[in-house]
Amino acid sequence: MFKLPKLDYDFAALEPAIDAETMRIHHDLHHGTYVANLNSALEILKNDQPKLFAEISDYFARSENAALEFILKFQNSPDDLGENAAKILNNAGGHLNHSLFWKMLRAPRENNAPDGEIASAIARDFGNFANFCDQFEAAALGQFGSGWAWLISDPTQRKLEIIAAKNQENPISQGKKALLGLDVWEHAYYLKYQNRRGEYAKNFWSIANWDFANELFAA
Ligand code: MN
């Protein structure tokens, strides 16, 4: 059912911020495993709860992300997903988060900074880009154990906020939209950075895809 998406760039495209070997393992193995585990968990759901499975399939016909967002709203009532709830939620979150993450990155450029609407909103809600970067890095560093730092927006007021989230939680479970995210699971940086998560977070600014953030913000 769900498929591992192809990257829009080569494994080496994000160097030196993220090395090619990390990208290969992260995409092919880690993300690939989330997809495989999600599909096997949904096979069980298909037998146990055919009506709910049919509803997920309807969203899936629209888009993979629509189906994942529908599933992740059950984070607030996991029992409705039955015995396999944790497996479904963890792996649906892993699949959605990584599908977004690859698009939130692009080849490094000098003076990479937001422009357009997202730049104005960052100035409005954080004072300036440097303050925003400091707060985002603090969220990335402060997340204890595995998780993500996210720049999110409130879909009605379009106010920006930075949050840290554990494991594979996605802001959609709280009705918020992710615009930019940094994976701070050790698998995302350990080969190159070992324990230096802060350096990884700093180098993220050279590869943050502000065009995609603007697309998500406008949608
Ligand atoms: Mn990851």
Question: How far is CA 164 from its chain centroid?
Answer: 12
Task: Judge whether residue 36 has pLDDT over 90.
Answer: yes
Q: How far is the CA of 180 from the centre of ligand 1 (A)?
A: 14
| 137: its two tokens | 């890095």
Per residue in 166-195, pLDDT (tens digit) is: 999 999 999 999 999 999 999 999 999 999
CA distances from 57 to 5, 88, 92 (A): 18, 14, 14
Ligand 1 centroid from CA 104, angstroms? 13
pLDDT given at position 126: 98
Tens of pLDDT, residue by residue over 85-103, are 999 999 999 999 999 999 9
* pLDDT for the residue 155: 86
50, 56 Cβ separation under 8 angstroms? no
Mean pLDDT to the nearest integer, 151-161: 94
Determine the distance separating the centroid of ligand 1 and the alpha carbon of 194, expressed in angstroms. Answer: 15
In the reported structure, the alpha carbon of residue 50 is separated from the centroid of ligand 1 by a whole-number distance in angstroms of: 31
For the chain, helix (H) and strand (E) counts, in that order, are: 10, 3
Q: What is the DSSP letter of 16?
A: T
